[in-house]
Amino acid sequence: MASLALWIILAPLMAALVTGLAGSHLGRRLTHMLTIAGVAVSCVLSFWVLLRVLGGARLDAPVYTWMVSGGIPFQIGFLVDPLSALLALVVTFVSLAVHIYSIGYMADDPGDIRFFSYISLFTFAMLLLVLANNFLQLFIGWEGVGLVSYLLIGFWFEKPTATAAALKAFLVNRIGDLGFILGIAMVLHYTGSLAYAAVFARVPDLVGTTVNLGFGWHVQVLTLMGLLLFVGAMGKSAQIPLHVWLPDSMEGPTPISALIHAATMVTAGVYLVARLSPLYIHAPVALSVILVIGSLTAFFMGILGVVATDIKRVIAYSTLSQLGYMMAGLGASAFAAGIFHLVTHAFFKALLFLAAGSVILAMHHEQDMRKMGGLRKYLPVTYATFLVGALALVAFPGFSGYFSKDALIDAVGQSPIAGAAFAYVLLLLSVFVTALYTFRMLFMVFHGTERMDAHTREHLHESPWVVTLPLVMLAVPALAVGWILFHPLLGGSFFASSLATPLGVNPLARFAHLTAWHFFLSAWDAPTFYLMLAGLGVAVYGYLWRPEWPARVAAGAGPLYRMLLQGYGFDALYLRLGAAGSVLLGRGLWKWGDERVIDGMAVNGTASRIGWLGSLVRKLQTGFLYQYAFTMVSALVVLVFWALVRY
């Protein structure tokens, strides 16, 4: 089992290293084959591991000890349980689809060898994160995926906007990681271990322990720990107010948006909170914060999707909104529902992104939906798969998103945690918003009048099979995975050994005896269904029947509309306060602190003084033998006298 897990992560790593170091010698075809083989091996092994986990196999063992410092072993080790096995399969499967897709999407790009090496490296880092059995390895994987994300957002580094977006993603994640690493330090300090199992065993003893933050302000240790770790999750999973990097990350190639910024990396924060559920059930305040932030993200980021005109940005805002859903589910301590939505979302959102990529490819890298329309007859496969993804996203009954999202909303409604009622209302409203922006996108791209120029229209044709095959590969789970996983994940005992059950009311209790079929039939009973239909209705009215109507609404909304276009002004605020303040502080430190004190006195001063010492010492080396001998003998005399005097 341990060697299986090892090979799952090593296969993509080896592919990444070989193609990264020697890719230019291997050529394109061999690079494609190697990286795809690496991920395919990983995927097959993940499936095999999941089967064995279903058979009851578990693994929690160190592979090797990196070092022992202060009595604490820092280890690389694996935890294979239902949660990590399921996610490993999702990651490798989506990654495999994206690898295949990228052959077609990146065909004309001169840097595609580098690209394949990066995405294999990403797969490795993500698996390292998911399969970790301790915080250190989690952190290594966490930073690894962050690094590759940075490299891939800035993949087209000749574009200034791409490098700026990469830098932004990196900096914003720094803020999250600061909280994260403080959280890890707190875990280490209070539990004396970094291994999950040991930490979780110590958690119940910490209930009631407080930490003094100064000025007599005492906070529960577990609450603070949970919040700090959640700050890390906020950065990676782009929760308000650390969400600003995700829309800009769309500067990267579309397969990356599908793999990293929709299906896998951005859900690492969700995974983190779920993985630490034994800790969070003892920190209700932290859960409330997660719940509220998640629902705010779900609602307010969804609204931005309604005004965006770039097809990738719409999906990006939708991703933000769905991540908000997942976090809200976790905050309601319906951990299984959050992970369930993570899994279904990984499939249908990767599908939507890849389908959007296929559209972009057909449109010669045009991403503005106002210049599309009526594409369904040119791109039939893309249209069909996109439709599946869209229906899953809006939670149309029977599609995978329905099972996960409606169950999640229902659980939030059942939750006794403070803020749950507020979150429930926001999440319900978001259902309407989700349906609105999703169908708006669908209609603007695939229906209505053809608004592209004549030249583009002439060249419109369906994408090659390497592009459409992954779409079909992902459309199948987007349809089916909800049916398959609904009962085991929410009702059954699949996650019993991975996720903690809340101490009080279990918001998922109602699903214990509910089959997928019954849940499907009860779609009529839930308000979500009607809210979704309302969103569909508005979209049909505004984007099919009366296309002039949205512009009138926008003009009528005036300042509100402009605020939405600017994403509530978060970017401007950060630029004014954060960036300008930092620049001011930086300038001060630079002019006075750095140039005068550090450069002038410390660095150059020290350097010149040390350089002077060096030349002095050099002069001692005269090259004359008698001086050498003299030095030796006099040193001997000094040493002897010293010995005698000291005695």
Partner 1 sequence: MMSMSAIAPEAWVAGGVLFVVLLEALRPFVRDRTLAFAIPASTLLALGLAAMSASFWTAASWGVFFDGGLIVDPLSRLLVVSVSVVALLVVIYSIGDLERHGFGHGEYYALLLSATLGILAIVTGANVLVLFLGIELLSLSLYALVSIDRERVIAAEAAMKYFFLGAIASGILLYGLSLLYGLSGTLSLAMLPKMIAGLGGGDRVLFLFATAFVIVALAFKFGAAPFHMWVPDVYEGSPTPITLLVGTIPELGAIALIMRLLVAGLHPLSAQWMPMVLGVAILSLLVGNLAALAQSNFKRLLAYSAIGHVGFILLGIATGTISGEIAAVYYTIIYVTMTLLAFGILLVLRARGRDVEDLDDLAGLSQIHPWWSLLMLFAMFSLAGIPPFVGFWAKLSILRALLGQGEVWVAVLAVIMAVVGAFYYLRVVKIMYFDRVANQKAMSVPWGIPELILSMNGLALIVLGLVPDALWQLCAWAVRY
By CB under 8 A, tell whether 614 contacts partner 1: yes
Q: β-strands 210-212, 59-69: how paired?
A: unpaired
By CB under 8 A, tell whether 640 contacts partner 1: yes
The helix/strand/coil state of 16 is: helix
User: 421 vs 640, which CB is nearer to partner 1?
Assistant: 640
CB of 620 to partner 1, least distance (A): 8
Taking the CA atoms of the chain, what radius of gyration do you get in angstroms? 28
User: Which of 626, 270, 334, 376 lies closest to 504 in space, CA to CA?
Assistant: 334
CA distance 621 to 623: 6
Measured between alpha carbons, how far is residue 137 from residues 64, 141, 184, 209, 238 in Å?
12, 6, 11, 27, 22
User: 209 vs 621, which CB is nearer to partner 1?
Assistant: 621
Where do we find the tokens 């900096």? 171
User: 51 vs 613, which CB is nearer to partner 1?
Assistant: 613
How many chain residues are in contact with partner 1, going by CB under 8 A? 33
Q: β-strands 59-69, 72-80: how paired?
A: antiparallel
By CB under 8 A, tell whether 605 contacts partner 1: no
**542 — phi, psi (to 5°)?**
-80, -30
* Among the residue ranges 34-42, 174-182, 591-599, 632-640, the one whose residues contact partner 1 (CB under 8 A): 632-640
User: 213 vs 629, which CB is nearer to partner 1?
Assistant: 629
CB of 115 to partner 1, least distance (A): 22
* Among the residue ranges 266-274, 463-471, 520-528, 633-641, the one whose residues contact partner 1 (CB under 8 A): 633-641
The binding track of 21-60 with respect to partner 1, each residue x by CB under 8 A or -, is ----------------------------------------
By CB under 8 A, tell whether 582 contacts partner 1: no
Q: CB within 8 A of 406, min separation 6: which ones?
A: 395, 519, 523, 526, 528
* Among the residue ranges 177-185, 335-343, 517-525, 613-621, the one whose residues contact partner 1 (CB under 8 A): 613-621
CB of 142 to partner 1, least distance (A): 18
CA distance 90 to 487: 18
User: 541 vs 642, which CB is nearer to partner 1?
Assistant: 642
CB of 604 to partner 1, least distance (A): 13
> Binders of partner 1 among 509-568, rule CB under 8 A?
none
CB of 93 to partner 1, least distance (A): 30
The binding track of 146-165 with respect to partner 1, each residue x by CB under 8 A or -, is --------------------
For partner 1, the binding residue among 476, 480, 602, 610 (CB under 8 A) is 610
Report DSSP letters for 95-127, one per residue. HHHHHHHHHHHTTT-TTHHHHHHHHHHHHHHHH
By CB under 8 A, tell whether 201 contacts partner 1: no
Q: CB within 8 A of 252, min separation 6: which ones?
A: 152, 153, 154, 155, 156, 162, 165, 166, 260, 261
| Count of C-beta atoms within a 10 Å radius of residue 174 | 11
* Among the residue ranges 124-132, 343-351, 497-505, 635-643, the one whose residues contact partner 1 (CB under 8 A): 635-643
Are 491 and 394 within 8 A, CB to CB?
A: no
For partner 1, the binding residue among 465, 541, 592, 628 (CB under 8 A) is 628
Q: What DSSP character marks residue 69?
A: E
* Among the residue ranges 128-136, 148-156, 576-584, 619-627, the one whose residues contact partner 1 (CB under 8 A): 619-627
By CB under 8 A, tell whether 631 contacts partner 1: yes
CB of 642 to partner 1, least distance (A): 7
Strand (E) or helix (H) holding 30: helix 28-54
Q: CB within 8 A of 411, min separation 6: which ones?
A: 329, 332, 334, 337, 507, 508
Structure tokens at 58: 């578990």
User: 582 vs 631, which CB is nearer to partner 1?
Assistant: 631
* Among the residue ranges 227-235, 487-495, 577-585, 638-646, the one whose residues contact partner 1 (CB under 8 A): 638-646
By CB under 8 A, tell whether 639 contacts partner 1: yes
- How buried is residue 592: exposed, middle or buried, by Cβ count under 10 Å (0-12/13-18/19+)? exposed
Measured between alpha carbons, how far is residue 82 from residues 11, 87, 612 in Å?
21, 8, 64
By CB under 8 A, tell whether 615 contacts partner 1: yes
User: 493 vs 615, which CB is nearer to partner 1?
Assistant: 615
User: 29 vs 619, which CB is nearer to partner 1?
Assistant: 619
The helix/strand/coil state of 332 is: coil
CB of 290 to partner 1, least distance (A): 35
CA distance 85 to 54: 10
User: 140 vs 514, which CB is nearer to partner 1?
Assistant: 140
By CB under 8 A, tell whether 621 contacts partner 1: yes
By CB under 8 A, tell whether 454 contacts partner 1: no
By CB under 8 A, tell whether 643 contacts partner 1: yes
CA distance 400 to 389: 9
By CB under 8 A, tell whether 642 contacts partner 1: yes
Strand (E) or helix (H) holding 380: helix 380-393
> Binders of partner 1 among 50-109, rule CB under 8 A?
64-68
Q: CB within 8 A of 4, min separation 6: which ones?
A: 45, 48, 49, 52
CB of 512 to partner 1, least distance (A): 47
Structure tokens at 346: 């990984």
* Among the residue ranges 44-52, 78-86, 306-314, 618-626, the one whose residues contact partner 1 (CB under 8 A): 618-626
User: Which of 617, 295, 337, 614 lies closest to 495 in space, CA to CA?
Assistant: 337
* Among the residue ranges 377-385, 403-411, 523-531, 636-644, the one whose residues contact partner 1 (CB under 8 A): 636-644
User: 209 vs 606, which CB is nearer to partner 1?
Assistant: 606
By CB under 8 A, tell whether 602 contacts partner 1: no
User: 63 vs 167, which CB is nearer to partner 1?
Assistant: 63
For partner 1, the binding residue among 185, 505, 572, 613 (CB under 8 A) is 613
Kindly list the residues in this chain that would bind partner 1 in the complex (CB under 8 A). Answer: 64-68, 607, 610-611, 613-618, 620-621, 623, 625, 627-629, 631-633, 635-636, 639-640, 642-644, 646-647
